[in-house]
Amino acid sequence: MSEVLSQSQIDALLSSMRSGDNVEQAEDKQPEKKYRKYDFTTPRKFTKDRIKMLNGIFENYTRVVSSRLNAQLRTACEVEVESIEEQKFYEFNNALTEGDVLAMVNVTIQSREPGGAVMEGPDPVMVYLSTSTALGMMDRLMGGDGEIDRGIASDYVYTNLELQLYEHLIKDIIGLMGASWENYAPVSFEYERTEVNPTLVQLLNLDETVVLVDMKMQFSNSEGRMSVVLPSSVLTSVFGEVNRESMGRKVASEDHSEEIFDNLRDSNLEIIAQLGETSLTLSDVYHLSVGDVVDLGRPKDSPVFLQIGGYQWFTGRIGTHKKNMAIKIDEVCYSAEQRSE
């Protein structure tokens, strides 16, 4: 049985005949889809929503850091988040060299509940500045132009003076990190120490799950990289506090909802009944007297509009109730278009 061509294959064949190309070549030009391998033996610990939340936090953080570095280094600096991904610590640790320097950061989580306990992160957060980036920032801090020497060796060792300048820079950068978490949980970050050769020290278990935040730093004459390593133990504690905060706000809103509605039920609300409207000149208004009739251009049995807050919410008919003027509601104006008429 001969193969039946689909409509898309027929269109591709006709197109190739017009252009003189081969159909197979046209199909080869289509980019091959690439899929990231997923290791089912080590499933992800954090959901996409948590990663998205971290992305928003560090987007705010990069804006704050950009402003601070602009003022501190007296040069244009743009910092942006390049990627946030979950991985094993050994993947980050294997990429380090003997000359790299890591800043160790203590994390403190304060509960917002009255008398809430203060909890410190079980593992330190790590902040990494590439050597060329750090040296360029130090040069700018000392009055230079911040030009990065591309010939810096991978095993470059910081001098004592450079380590002091590095500590001064990194303390300022780390101190700004806590403000980005305020909308979620009261978390503070404090510089602890500098690890000069992190490859010789076991900072975390190599199989520990971490979230690596990579940021790109763009200066007027150079660019660099900054990374923040967030251990899973720290994030688990922080997310636990975020969940408690969310539940607390939900319970609080539910507890006060009835009280709020009770207060609203007892409040006074002005309702205006409008039969119609017309325009008069100032001279006509000046000469109005008792017994004069103003024509509204509407029949006497026309519906009356009930206005609340300047918007039409109901229509009704004029009548009496217990010898008082009253309006019987005929229709409720649900849509915004009806209310704005």
> In the chain, what are the domain boundaries?
48-249, 269-339
Is 26's pLDDT higher than 60?
no
69 CB burial (10 A radius; 0-12, 13-18, 19+): buried
CATH for 48-249, among 3.40.50.1100, 3.40.50.2300, 3.40.1550.10, 3.40.50.300? 3.40.1550.10
Which helix (H) or strand (E) segment holds residue 104: the answer is: strand 102-110
Q: Virtual CA dihedral for 154, 159, 160, 161, nearest 10 degrees?
A: -110
CB 121 within 8 A of CB 233: yes
Q: What's the pLDDT band for 1 if we cut at 50, 70, 90?
A: very low
pLDDT (tens digit per residue) in 262-276: 778 778 888 888 877
First to last CA, the chain: 69
The CATH label, of 3.30.565.10, 3.20.20.80, 2.30.330.10, 1.10.10.10, for the domain at 269-339 is 2.30.330.10
What is the pTM assigned to this prediction? 0.59
63 CB burial (10 A radius; 0-12, 13-18, 19+): middle
Cβ atoms 338, 312 nearer than 8 A: yes
Q: Which of 36-40, 65-69, 220-224 has the highest average model confidence (pLDDT)? A: 65-69
Q: Tell me 115's DSSP state.
A: T
For helices 48-73 and 160-175, the axis angle rounded to 10 degrees is 120
Checking if the pLDDT of 214 tops 90, the result is yes
% of the chain beyond a pLDDT of 70: 81
The pLDDT tens digits of the residues spanning 108-152 come to: 887 766 555 677 777 889 999 988 888 888 888 888 877 766 667
Integer Cα distance of 232 and 212 in angstroms: 10
